[in-house]
Structure formats: structure tokens, C-alpha cells
Amino acid sequence: MSVVSRLERYVLARTLSGVGATLAVISAVILLVQFVDLSRSIGARADINAADLFGLTLLKSPSVIEILLPFVFLGGGISAFVGLNRRSELIAMRAAGVSAWRFIGPAAVAAFIAGLLAITAVNPISAALSARFEADRARLMSTYLGDRPKDIWLRQGDERTQMVIHAKSRDTVQGVVRLRVVSLFIYQKNKAGQPEFNRRLEAAEAVLRPGFWQLKDVREASAGESSVRSDSLSLRSTLDSEAAVERFASPDAIAFWRLPAAIRLTEQAGFSASGYRLKFQQMLATPVLFTAMTVLAAAFSLRLARLGGLAGLVGAGVAMGFVVFFFDEFAGALGRADIIPLFAAAWAPAVVALLSGLTLLCYTEDG
């Protein structure tokens, strides 16, 4: 029993080493590609030095690396098991009566745990860095005449009131959202639950404080009445600073822990939260996807090297990884279009990949 445990630890260590090496290679390639891309897209249009470009690269790259983490586990698993195969260590293990299931199991469990860490720890960090990247990019590009600021649209609401907010520009300093040249359209829900226009407010500036909007230089006009001017006015808000900033971002830029709140606030405001719900389900399926990639890596690497055809199987394993990736993207597109349920769109790629790997392992190991 102790010999088997030692073998399991040894195979697990080799697998983790392969994953680490693959992560290092992919990270280096992504850093290089992102640096070149930012040099071309930002460096050519703004006064920025190499240090600032490298800082922007470090802020943006983690989100890209996070997307490619399934390939890290696939590539790392393949390199580890192929290495064991070429050194005839797998032959020795099988000759000793050790089933492939025994030494693949710990690697699969490690991949599942890594998936949990990816969604609970890595994703919030990468989302925060992405938000910092967008803020720094906007600051650096503020002097470029070709980048005109886009109008800002927000919407908030509850069971009784809906509010549409339009602003010409915005900035976020130390977590405080500030909108400029703001128009607020306020609607009250009638007994049938339909929104009816109530009043409109024009303000030079709107600052989001905890629980309310603070407006300055306000002109208020109600339906059928003349306008009233005031120096300042406060309006109740269902948004906080993070939620307001997230309204400017795609679901991919919102941290895992913030997605449930983003779903709730989006639906309260009357918008569809299908994009956020799909992202949340995809994040929950990440540990299963990492496990599936590890199982697939083992399934395509266990053929004995002396029998030949190992290189073809490894190539097929890499191709299978790309198939899973495009299947995930295709299923996500179908889910966002409400063609298939969001739960199926998020979980189907991971579950199908896992079942495919287990099936191939059963065929390879048990005949």
C-alpha cells in the first residue's frame, strides 16, 4: 500500500511539474503577444514609455491566461504522462500491477482543486487587474483626439421605481464613481407593473455615494409642470460603486464573488441577466473542465511507446482540447441567444469532455 501511495505521489509531482512548465511557457507567450499588441494599439497613439506599456501588459495578461488555463492542464498532463511513457516508467508501474486509475486519480483531484482555486482566488484578482487596466488605459488615452469618450448609460430600479441614467463622461477615483453632464429619467410603476414617466432631472455632475446619488447644479422637470432649479439634490440608489463600474464591463470582467449581486441588480433594473448567469454557471463548471482536461491528457498518452502511434495520439489529444474550447464557445453563444438553457450551455462542454476522457481511458486500460 505504501509503494502504491509513493507511486501516486510521484506521478502527481510529475504532473504538477508539467502543468507548471506549461503555465510558464503560455504565460511568457501571452506577455510577449500582449506587449506587442499594446505597443501597436496604445503606444502609437499616446505618449507612453516602455515601463508603462509593460505595466499595462502585466495588468491585462492574467485575464487572458485565465481563459487558457484548461489548455495548461491539457498540455501539462500530456507532457508529464508522455515523459513517463518514454522512460518506460508506466510499463514498470503496470508490470507491478498498478492500475492507471490509481495514478491518474490524484492528478484529476489536484486539477479539480486547482479549478476551485481558479474561480475563488485567481478570478477575482484577474478581474481587479482588468479593471485597473481599463482605468489606466483610459487615463493614458485621454489626450488622444482619436479616442472620443462614449456616452454612459446606466439603469437601476426596484419594485416601485425605474431610473435610466445618461452621462457624457465618467471617472472612478478611489472607488468613487463620478458622472458628468447627467440626465436622469425616472419612471414609476403603475398597478399593472408597467413603468410610467414621472420626472426628468438634468445635472452637471452626479457622484455615487453609499446608498444615494449626489447631484449638483440640478434642473428638475415633472410631467406637465415647469422646471425647478436647485444647487444640489440626493436620490436613492440601488447601486454601489463596484456595481456601477461593472455596468460598464462585460460579464467576463466581473469577479466570481460579484456575479450573484450583478445578476440581482441587473434584473432589478429590468435588464436581462442571461450573460451574467451564463458566466456564473461556466465558472462553477471550471473545476470539472480542468479535471476533464487532465483525464483527456492521460487517455491520449498511455499508449505504450514501443507499440508506435504515440505521437499521433498526442496530436489527437491537443486537437481534442481545441474541439472542447470551440464547443464551449459555441455552446455559450447558443445560451446567450436563448436557444439552449444556460445550465446546459455552461456544463455540457465540461461534462462531455470528462465523459469522453473516461470512455477512452476505459477502452485503453480495460479493453
The residue among 336, 321, 338 whose CA lies nearest residue 279 is: 336
The length of the chain, given as a count of residues: 367
pLDDT digits (tens, 9 = 90+) for 300-345: 877 655 555 566 777 777 888 888 888 888 998 888 888 889 899 9
Task: Write the DSSP string, 118-149.
Answer: IIIIIHHHHHHHHHHHHHHHHHHTTT-TT-PP
Assigned domain for 204 exists: yes
Phi and psi at 208, nearest 5°, equal: -85, 110
Residue 126 has pLDDT above 70, yes or no: yes
pLDDT digits (tens, 9 = 90+) for 28-62: 999 999 988 888 877 666 667 778 888 888 888 88
Assigned domain for 285 exists: yes
For residues 185 and 180, what is the distance between their CA atoms, to the nearest angstrom? Answer: 15
Residues 11 and 92 in one domain: yes
Residues 101 and 43 in one domain: yes
Assigned domain for 256 exists: no
**pLDDT in the model for residue 235:** 83
Residues 207 and 123 in one domain: no
Count of structural domains within the chain: 2
Structure-block grid coordinates of residue 282:
461556466
Residues 105 and 207 in one domain: no
- Provide the 10 A C-beta neighbour count for residue 322: 11
pLDDT digits (tens, 9 = 90+) for 166-217: 887 777 666 677 888 888 888 887 777 677 778 888 888 888 887 788 888 8
Structure-block grid coordinates of residue 180:
458628468
Find residue 212's DSSP bridge partners: 209, 236
Assigned domain for 281 exists: yes
Range of the domain at 186: 159-237
Residues 19 and 136 in one domain: yes
Residue 205's domain is classified under what CATH number?
2.60.450.10
Residues 65 and 127 in one domain: yes
The more confidently predicted of residues 47 and 129 is 129
Residues 289 and 348 in one domain: yes
